[in-house]
Structure 1
Protein backbone atom coordinates (compact mmCIF):
# COMPACT_ATOMS: atom_id res chain seq x y z
CA UNK A 1 0.00 0.00 0.00
CA UNK A 2 1.76 3.11 -1.29
CA UNK A 3 0.54 5.53 1.39
CA UNK A 4 1.09 3.20 4.36
CA UNK A 5 4.71 3.13 5.49
CA UNK A 6 4.62 2.21 9.19
CA UNK A 7 2.83 -0.50 11.20
CA UNK A 8 2.70 -0.51 14.98
CA UNK A 9 2.07 -3.70 16.91
CA UNK A 10 0.87 -4.17 20.45
CA UNK A 11 2.74 -6.88 22.38
CA UNK A 12 0.68 -8.49 25.18
CA UNK A 13 -2.05 -10.77 23.80
CA UNK A 14 -1.26 -9.61 20.27
CA UNK A 15 2.21 -11.12 19.84
CA UNK A 16 2.33 -13.35 22.93
CA UNK A 17 0.10 -14.62 25.73
CA UNK A 18 -0.32 -12.37 28.76
CA UNK A 19 -3.80 -12.04 30.24
CA UNK A 20 -4.15 -15.76 30.94
CA UNK A 21 -1.37 -15.53 33.53
CA UNK A 22 -3.17 -12.68 35.30
CA UNK A 23 -6.39 -14.70 35.36
CA UNK A 24 -4.64 -17.78 36.75
CA UNK A 25 -2.94 -15.75 39.47
CA UNK A 26 -6.18 -13.94 40.29
CA UNK A 27 -7.95 -17.26 40.90
CA UNK A 28 -5.01 -18.48 42.99
CA UNK A 29 -5.19 -15.29 45.04
CA UNK A 30 -8.96 -15.60 45.59
CA UNK A 31 -8.61 -19.21 46.75
CA UNK A 32 -5.76 -18.29 49.06
CA UNK A 33 -7.66 -15.41 50.64
CA UNK A 34 -10.97 -17.29 50.92
CA UNK A 35 -9.56 -19.26 53.84
CA UNK A 36 -9.17 -16.04 55.87
CA UNK A 37 -12.08 -13.76 54.84
CA UNK A 38 -15.77 -14.43 54.33
CA UNK A 39 -18.66 -12.60 52.70
CA UNK A 40 -16.62 -10.71 50.12
CA UNK A 41 -16.29 -10.90 46.35
CA UNK A 42 -12.51 -11.08 46.41
CA UNK A 43 -11.98 -10.73 42.69
CA UNK A 44 -14.27 -7.68 42.53
CA UNK A 45 -12.41 -6.04 45.41
CA UNK A 46 -9.11 -6.75 43.67
CA UNK A 47 -10.38 -5.07 40.49
CA UNK A 48 -11.36 -2.01 42.53
CA UNK A 49 -7.84 -1.82 43.93
CA UNK A 50 -6.34 -2.16 40.46
CA UNK A 51 -8.49 0.71 39.18
CA UNK A 52 -7.41 2.94 42.08
CA UNK A 53 -3.76 2.08 41.65
CA UNK A 54 -3.34 2.48 37.90
CA UNK A 55 -2.53 6.16 38.30
CA UNK A 56 0.09 5.32 40.93
CA UNK A 57 1.67 2.03 39.83
CA UNK A 58 0.77 1.96 36.14
CA UNK A 59 0.09 -1.18 34.14
CA UNK A 60 1.86 -4.47 34.70
CA UNK A 61 2.62 -7.29 37.08
CA UNK A 62 4.25 -5.23 39.83
CA UNK A 63 1.20 -3.01 40.21
CA UNK A 64 -1.04 -6.08 40.11
CA UNK A 65 0.98 -7.72 42.90
CA UNK A 66 0.79 -4.61 45.07
CA UNK A 67 -2.97 -4.47 44.46
CA UNK A 68 -3.31 -8.08 45.63
CA UNK A 69 -1.43 -7.27 48.83
CA UNK A 70 -3.54 -4.16 49.40
CA UNK A 71 -6.75 -6.16 48.88
CA UNK A 72 -5.60 -8.86 51.30
CA UNK A 73 -4.88 -6.28 53.99
CA UNK A 74 -8.15 -4.42 53.37
CA UNK A 75 -10.28 -7.55 53.64
CA UNK A 76 -8.36 -9.46 56.26
CA UNK A 77 -6.62 -6.83 58.30
CA UNK A 78 -4.69 -8.43 61.16
CA UNK A 79 -6.12 -11.85 60.36
CA UNK A 80 -3.89 -12.32 57.32
CA UNK A 81 -0.78 -14.29 58.38
CA UNK A 82 2.63 -13.30 56.98
CA UNK A 83 2.89 -16.51 54.96
CA UNK A 84 -0.12 -15.44 52.88
CA UNK A 85 1.58 -12.15 51.96
CA UNK A 86 4.70 -14.14 51.15
CA UNK A 87 2.73 -16.41 48.83
CA UNK A 88 1.23 -13.41 47.06
CA UNK A 89 4.72 -12.06 46.46
CA UNK A 90 5.83 -15.47 45.19
CA UNK A 91 2.91 -15.51 42.76
CA UNK A 92 3.97 -12.13 41.38
CA UNK A 93 7.57 -13.31 40.96
CA UNK A 94 6.37 -16.40 39.12
CA UNK A 95 4.46 -14.20 36.68
CA UNK A 96 7.59 -12.14 36.06
CA UNK A 97 9.57 -15.25 35.15
CA UNK A 98 6.97 -17.10 33.10
CA UNK A 99 8.22 -18.25 29.67
CA UNK A 100 6.95 -16.29 26.69
CA UNK A 101 4.32 -18.07 24.57
CA UNK A 102 4.17 -16.51 21.10
CA UNK A 103 0.75 -16.51 19.46
CA UNK A 104 0.01 -18.18 16.09
CA UNK A 105 1.00 -16.46 12.81
CA UNK A 106 3.16 -13.89 14.59
CA UNK A 107 6.71 -14.64 13.46
CA UNK A 108 5.92 -15.46 9.84
CA UNK A 109 3.73 -12.37 9.46
CA UNK A 110 6.35 -10.04 10.92
CA UNK A 111 9.09 -11.60 8.81
CA UNK A 112 7.14 -11.06 5.60
CA UNK A 113 6.23 -7.46 6.44
CA UNK A 114 9.63 -6.40 7.77
CA UNK A 115 11.10 -5.57 4.38
CA UNK A 116 8.16 -3.53 3.13
CA UNK A 117 7.14 -1.48 6.18
CA UNK A 118 8.69 0.12 9.23
CA UNK A 119 7.59 -2.09 12.11
CA UNK A 120 7.27 -0.52 15.56
CA UNK A 121 6.49 -2.38 18.77
CA UNK A 122 4.28 -0.18 20.96
CA UNK A 123 3.54 -1.66 24.36
CA UNK A 124 2.63 -0.41 27.80
CA UNK A 125 3.56 -1.81 31.19
CA UNK A 126 6.61 -2.39 33.31
CA UNK A 127 9.84 -1.60 31.46
CA UNK A 128 11.88 -4.56 32.75
CA UNK A 129 9.10 -7.09 32.16
CA UNK A 130 8.36 -5.92 28.63
CA UNK A 131 12.05 -5.92 27.74
CA UNK A 132 12.34 -9.45 29.16
CA UNK A 133 9.41 -10.74 27.13
CA UNK A 134 10.64 -9.13 23.92
CA UNK A 135 14.10 -10.66 24.40
CA UNK A 136 12.68 -14.11 25.12
CA UNK A 137 10.29 -13.94 22.17
CA UNK A 138 13.15 -13.66 19.68
CA UNK A 139 11.14 -11.09 17.72
CA UNK A 140 13.17 -8.01 18.60
CA UNK A 141 15.28 -8.03 15.43
CA UNK A 142 12.16 -7.71 13.28
CA UNK A 143 11.24 -4.28 14.67
CA UNK A 144 12.72 -1.00 13.53
CA UNK A 145 11.83 0.61 16.87
CA UNK A 146 10.45 -0.32 20.28
CA UNK A 147 8.37 2.04 22.42
CA UNK A 148 7.42 1.03 25.99
CA UNK A 149 4.95 3.62 27.25
CA UNK A 150 2.99 4.26 30.43
CA UNK A 151 -0.31 4.52 28.55
CA UNK A 152 -1.63 4.67 24.99
CA UNK A 153 -3.50 7.76 23.86
CA UNK A 154 -4.00 9.61 20.59
CA UNK A 155 -1.07 11.83 21.57
CA UNK A 156 1.07 8.73 22.11
CA UNK A 157 0.45 7.53 18.56
CA UNK A 158 0.88 11.01 17.10
CA UNK A 159 4.29 11.24 18.73
CA UNK A 160 5.48 7.72 17.94
CA UNK A 161 4.33 7.61 14.32
CA UNK A 162 5.83 11.04 13.69
CA UNK A 163 9.14 9.95 15.24
CA UNK A 164 9.45 6.54 13.59
CA UNK A 165 7.34 6.99 10.47
CA UNK A 166 5.78 9.56 8.19
CA UNK A 167 3.05 10.60 10.62
CA UNK A 168 -0.11 8.86 11.84
CA UNK A 169 -1.97 9.26 8.54
CA UNK A 170 0.60 6.93 6.93
CA UNK A 171 0.55 4.46 9.82
CA UNK A 172 -1.44 1.55 11.21
CA UNK A 173 -1.78 0.16 14.74
CA UNK A 174 -2.55 -3.52 15.28
CA UNK A 175 -3.66 -4.91 18.64
CA UNK A 176 -6.16 -6.79 20.77
CA UNK A 177 -7.34 -3.84 22.86
CA UNK A 178 -9.94 -1.51 21.39
CA UNK A 179 -9.36 0.98 24.19
CA UNK A 180 -5.57 1.13 24.01
CA UNK A 181 -4.56 -0.01 20.52
CA UNK A 182 -7.39 0.79 18.13
CA UNK A 183 -9.55 3.74 19.19
CA UNK A 184 -6.74 6.18 20.11
CA UNK A 185 -4.79 5.26 16.95
CA UNK A 186 -7.83 6.09 14.83
CA UNK A 187 -8.29 9.32 16.78
CA UNK A 188 -4.70 10.21 15.87
CA UNK A 189 -5.48 9.66 12.17
CA UNK A 190 -4.05 6.15 11.75
CA UNK A 191 -5.60 2.87 10.72
CA UNK A 192 -6.71 0.77 13.70
CA UNK A 193 -6.78 -3.01 13.28
CA UNK A 194 -8.50 -5.01 16.00
CA UNK A 195 -7.55 -8.65 16.52
CA UNK A 196 -9.59 -9.96 19.46
CA UNK A 197 -8.01 -12.23 22.05
CA UNK A 198 -10.12 -14.73 23.95
CA UNK A 199 -9.12 -13.02 27.18
CA UNK A 200 -9.06 -9.24 27.48
CA UNK A 201 -8.90 -7.35 30.76
CA UNK A 202 -12.25 -5.78 31.61
CA UNK A 203 -10.69 -2.32 31.90
CA UNK A 204 -9.71 -2.52 28.21
CA UNK A 205 -13.30 -2.99 27.00
CA UNK A 206 -14.96 -0.27 24.89
CA UNK A 207 -17.36 -0.36 21.96
CA UNK A 208 -16.00 -1.09 18.49
CA UNK A 209 -15.72 2.07 16.34
CA UNK A 210 -17.63 0.25 13.61
CA UNK A 211 -18.42 3.40 11.62
CA UNK A 212 -14.83 4.66 11.49
CA UNK A 213 -13.47 4.47 7.92
CA UNK A 214 -10.03 3.41 9.15
CA UNK A 215 -11.23 0.63 11.48
CA UNK A 216 -10.79 -3.02 10.56
CA UNK A 217 -11.30 -6.27 12.48
CA UNK A 218 -9.42 -9.52 11.81
CA UNK A 219 -9.71 -13.00 13.28
CA UNK A 220 -5.95 -13.49 13.62
CA UNK A 221 -2.67 -11.86 12.66
CA UNK A 222 -2.22 -14.14 9.67
CA UNK A 223 -4.96 -12.16 7.90
CA UNK A 224 -3.04 -8.88 8.06
CA UNK A 225 -1.22 -9.28 4.73
CA UNK A 226 -4.50 -9.83 2.89
CA UNK A 227 -5.95 -6.74 4.54
CA UNK A 228 -2.96 -4.65 3.46
CA UNK A 229 -3.49 -5.72 -0.15
CA UNK A 230 -7.20 -4.84 0.02
CA UNK A 231 -6.98 -1.40 1.64
CA UNK A 232 -7.68 1.59 -0.63
CA UNK A 233 -4.61 3.34 -1.96
Structure 2
Protein backbone atom coordinates (compact mmCIF):
# COMPACT_ATOMS: atom_id res chain seq x y z
CA UNK A 1 0.00 0.00 0.00
CA UNK A 2 1.40 3.41 -1.00
CA UNK A 3 2.61 5.46 1.95
CA UNK A 4 1.40 8.97 2.71
CA UNK A 5 4.08 11.66 2.68
CA UNK A 6 4.58 14.99 4.44
CA UNK A 7 2.06 14.21 7.20
CA UNK A 8 2.79 15.96 10.51
CA UNK A 9 -0.50 15.52 12.37
CA UNK A 10 -3.06 12.72 12.53
CA UNK A 11 -6.64 13.21 13.72
CA UNK A 12 -8.86 10.31 14.69
CA UNK A 13 -12.61 10.11 14.80
CA UNK A 14 -13.89 8.57 18.05
CA UNK A 15 -17.20 6.69 17.76
CA UNK A 16 -16.93 3.55 15.63
CA UNK A 17 -13.27 4.33 14.87
CA UNK A 18 -11.61 4.12 18.29
CA UNK A 19 -14.49 2.28 20.00
CA UNK A 20 -17.84 0.82 18.97
CA UNK A 21 -21.03 2.84 19.33
CA UNK A 22 -23.51 2.53 16.46
CA UNK A 23 -24.41 -1.07 17.29
CA UNK A 24 -25.47 0.08 20.79
CA UNK A 25 -27.68 2.77 19.25
CA UNK A 26 -29.26 0.15 17.02
CA UNK A 27 -29.93 -2.12 20.01
CA UNK A 28 -31.61 0.76 21.84
CA UNK A 29 -33.68 1.62 18.78
CA UNK A 30 -34.85 -1.99 18.52
CA UNK A 31 -35.96 -2.02 22.18
CA UNK A 32 -37.60 1.36 21.66
CA UNK A 33 -39.65 0.06 18.74
CA UNK A 34 -40.77 -2.87 20.87
CA UNK A 35 -41.96 -0.48 23.58
CA UNK A 36 -44.01 1.36 20.95
CA UNK A 37 -45.23 -1.73 19.08
CA UNK A 38 -48.85 -0.83 19.88
CA UNK A 39 -48.48 2.22 17.64
CA UNK A 40 -46.86 0.73 14.56
CA UNK A 41 -44.41 -1.74 13.06
CA UNK A 42 -40.69 -1.42 13.77
CA UNK A 43 -39.92 -0.20 10.25
CA UNK A 44 -42.56 2.53 10.51
CA UNK A 45 -41.43 3.73 13.94
CA UNK A 46 -37.77 3.73 12.87
CA UNK A 47 -38.62 5.75 9.75
CA UNK A 48 -40.52 8.27 11.87
CA UNK A 49 -37.57 8.47 14.28
CA UNK A 50 -35.22 9.20 11.39
CA UNK A 51 -37.44 12.12 10.35
CA UNK A 52 -37.62 13.41 13.93
CA UNK A 53 -33.84 13.25 14.34
CA UNK A 54 -33.33 15.00 11.01
CA UNK A 55 -35.59 17.88 12.03
CA UNK A 56 -33.89 18.21 15.42
CA UNK A 57 -30.26 18.20 14.31
CA UNK A 58 -30.07 21.92 13.65
CA UNK A 59 -31.20 22.63 17.24
CA UNK A 60 -29.96 19.62 19.20
CA UNK A 61 -26.86 18.51 17.28
CA UNK A 62 -25.50 14.99 17.71
CA UNK A 63 -25.02 12.59 20.60
CA UNK A 64 -26.85 10.52 23.17
CA UNK A 65 -28.77 13.38 24.75
CA UNK A 66 -30.05 14.68 21.42
CA UNK A 67 -30.99 11.12 20.48
CA UNK A 68 -32.91 10.65 23.74
CA UNK A 69 -34.91 13.83 23.22
CA UNK A 70 -35.78 12.65 19.71
CA UNK A 71 -36.85 9.27 21.10
CA UNK A 72 -39.30 10.95 23.47
CA UNK A 73 -40.61 13.42 20.91
CA UNK A 74 -41.10 10.68 18.34
CA UNK A 75 -42.94 8.46 20.85
CA UNK A 76 -45.43 11.26 21.48
CA UNK A 77 -45.76 11.82 17.75
CA UNK A 78 -46.34 8.22 16.62
CA UNK A 79 -48.74 7.54 19.51
CA UNK A 80 -50.65 10.78 18.83
CA UNK A 81 -50.04 11.77 22.43
CA UNK A 82 -51.32 8.50 23.90
CA UNK A 83 -47.99 7.06 25.07
CA UNK A 84 -48.07 6.42 28.81
CA UNK A 85 -45.74 8.03 31.33
CA UNK A 86 -44.23 4.70 32.38
CA UNK A 87 -43.26 4.04 28.75
CA UNK A 88 -41.65 7.49 28.51
CA UNK A 89 -39.69 6.62 31.67
CA UNK A 90 -38.44 3.41 30.05
CA UNK A 91 -37.46 5.33 26.92
CA UNK A 92 -35.47 7.79 29.03
CA UNK A 93 -33.67 4.87 30.71
CA UNK A 94 -32.82 3.44 27.28
CA UNK A 95 -31.33 6.75 26.19
CA UNK A 96 -29.38 7.20 29.42
CA UNK A 97 -27.90 3.72 29.08
CA UNK A 98 -25.88 5.04 26.13
CA UNK A 99 -24.10 7.46 28.47
CA UNK A 100 -22.44 4.62 30.40
CA UNK A 101 -20.99 2.37 27.71
CA UNK A 102 -17.54 0.97 28.48
CA UNK A 103 -15.99 2.54 25.34
CA UNK A 104 -13.61 -0.41 25.03
CA UNK A 105 -11.09 0.28 22.23
CA UNK A 106 -11.66 -1.69 19.04
CA UNK A 107 -9.18 -4.38 18.04
CA UNK A 108 -5.69 -3.07 17.34
CA UNK A 109 -6.49 0.54 18.28
CA UNK A 110 -4.43 1.00 21.43
CA UNK A 111 -1.37 -0.90 20.20
CA UNK A 112 -1.40 1.07 16.93
CA UNK A 113 -1.75 4.43 18.67
CA UNK A 114 1.16 3.53 20.94
CA UNK A 115 3.33 2.63 17.92
CA UNK A 116 2.45 5.84 16.08
CA UNK A 117 3.16 7.97 19.13
CA UNK A 118 6.61 6.38 19.46
CA UNK A 119 7.59 7.15 15.84
CA UNK A 120 10.45 9.63 15.57
CA UNK A 121 12.01 11.72 12.82
CA UNK A 122 15.66 11.55 11.86
CA UNK A 123 16.11 7.92 10.83
CA UNK A 124 14.51 5.65 8.29
CA UNK A 125 12.93 3.51 11.00
CA UNK A 126 11.79 6.57 12.96
CA UNK A 127 13.69 5.52 16.05
CA UNK A 128 15.36 8.84 16.96
CA UNK A 129 14.74 12.57 16.86
CA UNK A 130 11.49 14.39 17.61
CA UNK A 131 8.08 12.77 17.52
CA UNK A 132 7.00 12.39 13.93
CA UNK A 133 3.28 13.04 14.42
CA UNK A 134 1.04 15.08 16.68
CA UNK A 135 -2.16 13.15 17.45
CA UNK A 136 -5.69 14.40 17.99
CA UNK A 137 -9.16 13.09 18.71
CA UNK A 138 -11.51 15.02 16.42
CA UNK A 139 -15.11 14.07 17.01
CA UNK A 140 -18.56 15.58 16.91
CA UNK A 141 -21.16 15.20 19.62
CA UNK A 142 -22.01 16.37 23.10
CA UNK A 143 -19.01 17.61 25.07
CA UNK A 144 -19.44 15.79 28.39
CA UNK A 145 -20.48 12.50 26.76
CA UNK A 146 -17.52 12.44 24.37
CA UNK A 147 -15.03 13.45 27.06
CA UNK A 148 -16.33 10.74 29.39
CA UNK A 149 -16.07 8.06 26.70
CA UNK A 150 -12.50 9.07 25.97
CA UNK A 151 -11.55 8.72 29.65
CA UNK A 152 -13.41 5.41 29.98
CA UNK A 153 -11.54 4.12 26.94
CA UNK A 154 -8.17 4.78 28.57
CA UNK A 155 -6.85 6.25 25.31
CA UNK A 156 -6.60 9.90 26.39
CA UNK A 157 -2.87 9.62 27.13
CA UNK A 158 -2.04 9.09 23.46
CA UNK A 159 -3.45 12.42 22.23
CA UNK A 160 -2.00 15.92 22.17
CA UNK A 161 -5.30 17.56 21.23
CA UNK A 162 -8.93 16.68 21.94
CA UNK A 163 -11.38 18.62 19.78
CA UNK A 164 -15.13 18.04 20.16
CA UNK A 165 -17.25 19.96 17.67
CA UNK A 166 -20.93 20.32 16.85
CA UNK A 167 -20.36 19.20 13.26
CA UNK A 168 -17.44 18.32 11.01
CA UNK A 169 -17.67 20.90 8.27
CA UNK A 170 -14.59 21.97 6.26
CA UNK A 171 -14.14 25.07 8.45
CA UNK A 172 -13.94 22.83 11.53
CA UNK A 173 -11.07 20.98 9.85
CA UNK A 174 -9.34 24.29 9.11
CA UNK A 175 -9.65 25.26 12.80
CA UNK A 176 -8.18 21.88 13.75
CA UNK A 177 -5.20 22.54 11.48
CA UNK A 178 -4.63 25.89 13.18
CA UNK A 179 -4.87 24.27 16.60
CA UNK A 180 -2.36 21.59 15.61
CA UNK A 181 -0.14 24.16 13.87
CA UNK A 182 -0.07 22.36 10.53
CA UNK A 183 -1.10 23.15 6.98
CA UNK A 184 -4.12 21.24 5.63
CA UNK A 185 -1.85 19.15 3.39
CA UNK A 186 0.07 18.05 6.51
CA UNK A 187 -3.05 16.65 8.21
CA UNK A 188 -4.30 13.07 8.01
CA UNK A 189 -7.86 12.32 9.13
CA UNK A 190 -8.76 8.75 10.11
CA UNK A 191 -12.37 7.68 10.51
CA UNK A 192 -15.28 5.43 9.64
CA UNK A 193 -17.72 8.02 8.25
CA UNK A 194 -17.16 9.03 4.65
CA UNK A 195 -19.54 11.96 5.13
CA UNK A 196 -17.98 13.42 8.29
CA UNK A 197 -14.40 12.14 8.36
CA UNK A 198 -13.35 11.73 4.75
CA UNK A 199 -15.13 14.11 2.34
CA UNK A 200 -14.61 17.37 4.30
CA UNK A 201 -10.97 16.56 5.08
CA UNK A 202 -10.23 15.94 1.41
CA UNK A 203 -12.06 19.14 0.51
CA UNK A 204 -9.57 21.31 2.42
CA UNK A 205 -6.57 19.49 0.93
CA UNK A 206 -5.86 17.07 3.77
CA UNK A 207 -5.35 13.32 3.42
CA UNK A 208 -7.79 10.75 4.78
CA UNK A 209 -7.93 7.07 5.72
CA UNK A 210 -11.33 5.40 5.63
CA UNK A 211 -11.89 2.45 7.98
CA UNK A 212 -15.52 1.37 7.47
CA UNK A 213 -17.38 0.09 10.52
CA UNK A 214 -19.69 -2.89 10.06
CA UNK A 215 -22.73 -0.67 10.45
CA UNK A 216 -23.32 2.96 9.50
CA UNK A 217 -25.77 5.46 10.93
CA UNK A 218 -28.36 6.35 8.30
CA UNK A 219 -27.58 10.07 8.68
CA UNK A 220 -23.93 9.42 7.77
CA UNK A 221 -24.53 7.62 4.49
CA UNK A 222 -23.42 9.39 1.30
CA UNK A 223 -22.06 8.34 -2.06
CA UNK A 224 -18.35 7.57 -1.81
CA UNK A 225 -15.66 8.52 -4.33
CA UNK A 226 -11.98 7.99 -5.05
CA UNK A 227 -9.26 10.60 -4.43
CA UNK A 228 -5.45 10.66 -4.67
CA UNK A 229 -5.20 11.59 -0.96
CA UNK A 230 -7.55 8.82 0.16
CA UNK A 231 -6.55 5.41 1.45
CA UNK A 232 -8.93 2.63 2.44
CA UNK A 233 -8.11 -0.02 5.01
CA UNK A 234 -10.14 -2.71 6.76
CA UNK A 235 -8.23 -2.91 10.06
CA UNK A 236 -6.95 -0.12 12.30
CA UNK A 237 -3.49 -1.68 12.53
CA UNK A 238 -3.04 -1.28 8.77
CA UNK A 239 -2.37 2.42 9.44
CA UNK A 240 1.20 1.39 10.18
CA UNK A 241 1.58 0.25 6.56
CA UNK A 242 0.68 3.74 5.30
CA UNK A 243 2.78 5.95 7.60
TM-score w.r.t. the length of structure 1 is 0.94
> Does the alignment pair 1:14 with 2:30?
no
Q: Secondary structure at the match of 1:163?
A: helix
> Does the alignment pair 1:206 with 2:206?
no
User: Offset of 1:117 from its aligned partner?
Assistant: 0.7
For residue 216 of structure 1, what is the aligned residue in structure 2?
231
User: Offset of 1:206 from its aligned partner?
Assistant: 1.4
> Does the alignment pair 1:74 with 2:77?
yes
Partners of 2:112 and 2:237 in 1: CA distance: 6
- Per-residue CA deviation, residues 51-90 of structure 1 (Å, 9 max, x unaligned), is 0001111000111111111111011133211000000001
Partners of 1:74 and 1:158 in 2: CA distance: 39
State the 4+ residue runs in structure 1 displaced beyond 2 angstroms: none
Q: Give 1:37-186 correspondences, 5 Å limit.
A: 37-38=39-40, 41-115=44-118, 116-186=132-202
Q: Secondary structure at the match of 1:173?
A: strand
Give me the CA root mean square deviation. 1.3
Q: Secondary structure at the match of 1:77?
A: coil
Q: How many residues matched?
A: 226
Q: Secondary structure at the match of 1:213?
A: coil
Query: Where in structure 1 are there 5+ consecutive unaligned residues?
Result: 229-233
TM-score w.r.t. the length of structure 2 is 0.90
Partners of 2:215 and 2:104 in 1: CA distance: 15
- Asked if the contact 1:165/1:171 (under 8 Å) is kept, the reply is no
Query: Where in structure 2 are there 5+ consecutive unaligned residues?
Result: 119-131
